[in-house]
Each structure stands twice: as C-alpha cells, then as structure tokens.
Amino acid sequence: MSDTLSTLNWLVEAGADEAMAEQPVDRLAAKAPSPARAPTALAASPIRAQARAEIPVSGDMIGNAQALAAAATSLAELQAALEAFDGCALKRTATNTVFADGVAAGRVLFIGEAPGRDEDRIGKPFVGRAGQLLDKMLASIGLDRKTNAYITNVINWRPPDNRDPTPEEAAACLPFLRRHIELANPAVIILLGAVAARHVVGVSDGIMKLRGRWLEYRVGEHMVPLMPTLHPAYLLRQPAHKKLAWRDLQAVRDKMHAIGLPDTTTQSN
C-alpha cells in the first residue's frame, strides 16, 4: 500500500496528474484480441481529440499574435485576446490560460517563466509552492499582490510535465507579453529566473551572472529599470542562495523609494 502511495506521489511530482479518460484503461488487456476492448485514451476523450483537430498552429502565428496583442487597448482586452488565441501548441494540453495576478496600478511587475500544475488548475500565476515563497519575498519589501505587486509569466499555458517551452511556444506568447508590459505600464520590472531573462531582455547569460544588476527595458518612449533575480522555485531547491535574492530585493525596494513608489509599510491609507 505504501509502495502504491509513493508511486502515485512520484507520478504527481513528475507531472502525470491528469486522468485522460473517464474509465481506467488496462493496457495489458487492451493488447489481447477482444471485441470488448477498452477504448484508447484519445478516442475516449472527445474534448482533447477535438482540441487537437481544431487548433491550427499556423505558419503566421507570430503575425496573428502581434496583430491580436496590438489591437488590445486595456489589460482586460489583452486577456480576452489571449484566451481567444489558438496559435500556441501548449494551449491544447493546458486546462487554463494563465494571464496575471495582482494590481498593475502598483507599477511593480514580476515576470516568471510558465505556469506549473497548480497555476494551470487555478488559472493564476505563482499559486503553488514557488508562489508561496514569492509571496514571502514580496512581503519582505512591502509588496503584496492584493495591494501593489503585479505578476505574470513569459508563457501563458503550462508546458506538459513542466518541460522548458520550445522557441516556437515562446515566440507565440511573446507579442502578448510585450503588449502586457506596455499596458501594465510598470515603473520597475523584476525578472524571475533565466528563462524570463532570456525572453524579455534577450540575454542568455546564466542567471547567476545576470542577477543583482540593473538593466533597462524600453516601454514606448521611456526606459524602465529591470532587475533579474533568482526564481523562487530555484530558491526552494537551493535555500542557501536566498541571501542573494534578498540583496536583489533590497535593491528593488531602494529603487521603488527613489522613484516615489509607496510600499505597504510607507503607504498612507
């Protein structure tokens, strides 16, 4: 029994956390010639089978993404455009489109990599274990997602088994992210991890080399200060590096104060 439980736990950790069909499929029995054979997972899952057939991944999906994103004039319109967009293959296997969480008007934007299992289930970024650590990191510098922090990801749909997104998948999401940044109009941007750094500022240096130094991101006519730091999921694996992230967050708080952004400890009611 405990073996069965630990196998199940291991499968869930590995991302095999969804039932593909209403009934279990005995694949050994299915190999035996029998007229009453169990259906295959795909045929038994009409929603998935239909999704596979109906979502085209067009050659001009980047052009489509750019046109849809550019036409959005508010965050709500951008979210609706993203939810209607079928050009990213990841959408076929995801449960939800994960757009953003928090208060854009706080003007402090955090950008992570991609939704994981919990984010896919709930439809919001950073709600799992890494998200709980991110919330503590935010609180340490007077930020929280109900008041003054805004959070999104480079990728809006969960990559199966939490694998790295392919260049095509990232390319389909990037026009939406760029428009997202324009519409959210942040005064400070924090990139969480190397994947965000690679896609947002186009640098492929390791995050250990990039972190802790201010870069700039152009939004329209002005440049926004941008700080790459360590991803909370990495910090869960390497807690000894929390002190590095702490230093980066101190620099973010100093920058917020220098440009007159209140934090929850300085905000007057």
* Residue ranges in contact with ligand URA by CB under 6 A: 112-116, 119, 125-126, 130-131, 153, 233
The closest residue (CB) to ligand URA is 112
Nearer to ligand URA, 186 or 193 (CB): 193
Please give the C-alpha separations between residue 240 and each of 115, 190, 243, in angstroms, as whole numbers: 25, 21, 7
Comparison of 113 and 263: residue with beta carbon closer to ligand URA: 113
190, 150 contact by CB (below 8 A): no
Closest approach of Cβ 135 to ligand URA, in Å? 12
Q: Give the residue with the Cβ less far from ligand URA, 94 or 261.
A: 94
User: Helix 194-201 crosses helix 167-184 at what angle (to 10 degrees)?
Assistant: 70
Which of 100/261 has CB closer to ligand URA?
A: 100
CB of 103 to ligand URA, least distance (A): 17
Q: What backbone torsions phi and psi does residue 10 show, to the nearest 5 degrees?
A: -65, -40
CB of 81 to ligand URA, least distance (A): 20
Smallest separation (angstroms) from ligand URA to the CB of 3: 30
Determine the Cα–Cα distance for residues 137 and 61; give it in Å rounded to an integer.
36
Residue 179 beta carbon to ligand URA: minimum distance, rounded to whole angstroms: 19
In whole angstroms, the minimum distance from the beta carbon of 168 to ligand URA comes to: 19
Exposure b/e, 117-156, CB count within 10 A at least 16 = b: bbbbbbebbbbbebbebbbebbeebbbebebbbbbbbbbb
Q: How many CA atoms lie within 13 A of 135 on its CB side?
A: 13
Q: Give the type of residue at 49.
A: A
Q: How far apart are CA 161 and CA 30, in angstroms?
A: 26
- CA torsion 253-259-261-262 (nearest 10°) is 70
Q: CA 161 → CA 25, 59, 116, 117, 158, distances in Å? A: 21, 26, 8, 8, 8
